[in-house]
Structure 1
Amino acid sequence: MQVFTKISELRKAIEEKREQGCSIGLVPTMGFLHEGHASLISRARRENDCVVLSIFVNPTQFGPNEDLDRYPRNPEGDLRIAETNGADFVFMPEANEMYPRPAATRISVSGITSLLCGASRPGHFDGVGLIVSKLFHIVKPHRAYFGMKDAQQVAVVSRMVEDLNLDVEIVPCPIVRGEDGLALSSRNVYLSPEQRSQALVLSETLRKAPEWLAEVGGDTERLKARISTRIREMPLADIEYVEILTYPDLEAPSAEVESSWIIALAVRFGSTRLIDNRLLTRDDLAKVIHSIPMQVAKGE
């Protein structure tokens, strides 16, 4: 495994691989790697000849009151996980390498960035679009791997790739959870034992959501209310949003149910903001609701 801090050196190494006919897989991360990231690296290893892991805490996706300075970092541990799971190249640039001067270019995907996390984090997805676009141009991967814990990010990046005709396949990968059910996140380290215990309500409600959806006859507003009520039973929980939308277009569900739905949550426990979600395919929806096209979205 080779570690690079300079764009020019990484490009040269990747170009040598390309000349050998190798396929390139990219795993973009902000570091402080856990088993969720490890699963992305492992999948990229299985599906590509060369795996590039980027580790960069991107300042352009953090707002002025967010946790850029306190975002957890563990470069030594990251390199161990990268090597164990099969990364060939690790790209760990400094901020002035990626942004030698303030960026004058924005990558803005409208519509799907105006709700969910985008509503409370203005500019966040512009920063995501910019850094992911930069990495795609630097690495020129055949495939790029993203975890579905941040499903909105996957939707945004996928739409950017579609709109700009970028020659890369976006590979969404399943959420990885701890033994207790909590979705793995670098920010979980900030949770106190009591906060973590109460945060399990997120995975609990998502697990029960299909059953509850059937009980309310497909009424999305009643399901959202039921999920919110259960979460509020946890005294340390502060709900930012509970939403049910189509996926990946992130629109209000309609009676036709022609696409998947996502049940998306953002909840704070103390100063730690957690997100989680569950994707329900059209087949999933058909299994839990009889005559679903006539019954969904009664609350609209």
Structure 2
Amino acid sequence: MRENRDVSNSTPNHTPEPSDAASLRAPLVPTSDFSQFLPVQVPILPWQNAKLLSQTLGDTVYVSSAFATAIRLELQLGVPAQRGEIGVRIPVTAPDSWSEFFCLDDASLQLSRALRAEVSAPEVLENPQTCATLLSHLADNGWYGIEIEVRGENLNPQLIQVAQHAADAGLHPGLSVLPGTLHSQNHGIISAFETVSLDLLNGTQPRREQLKYLAAQRVVGKIIDAKSSERTNLEAALETLVLMRAKLPSQSEVVVGIAGDFGLESLTLPLREDLDFVAKTRLAGAQAKILEALDLASALTQGKTTVASAFVADVLSRAGKATSLPV
């Protein structure tokens, strides 16, 4: 139910608290009705601005614990606590910044199994030694895996070695591509990855002959836009995912994904008291996108009736916009 996943947006209490927000001290199990193993992948919440995170939670979040707090909040919303379902973008070429990603203390270290590093293919391929160091850091800190993003339609064969190095380090390698990447020349490279994410935002439905090149057991359909302030059309998104699943082998798992991140770069500026409304609600919007992903994942695996209220609200909202009537 929505009520179980609501997060207070009241003014934060600035009374000193321990390192983690008091509201997030509960055991690492979802407070929603969703299964812990619901197939969904999301970006991490914008955690660099602890004050903005505090305002959204209605509780004090310290800089030192903001990273862990953002992860805990997503787990309490219903995101699974394992299999690297929370993506964290890490710059391969800026190792001096890596310490902020490997800051979990011993009490929070178990959160690492929910994390996967998101990196760009050019950075990985052009900096092999730095990439090897990053893989070592990820493994040492208990991260689940690494996802390599490729924006072109032709894959570099060296990606096979990167996937193997990741697996040798105990990490789970994933690949994020466009549907146009699924062709015969890339088949051997794609098969080196156990998870493949497809960007479906442009509405292009992968053809059956394209999907046959997917050897991955997990196929992530990135159908929700993290950058958009508009509601996701849940009916259309669910139809796209169902049609894609019908074209895949029966053993393949289809996962609901969010494309992009939640605008981390916009939160590097100091939070001002006169910050405009859009900026102040950015984090709340990120939570809304996560809930959309959870609703879609539930509808995909358990049937639309399990989250009927979410689909009804979406339809009413669109009807209100179409008729210029408030809903």
TM-score in terms of structure 1 length: 0.29
Indicate the structure with greater strand content.
Answer: 1
TM-score in terms of structure 2 length: 0.27
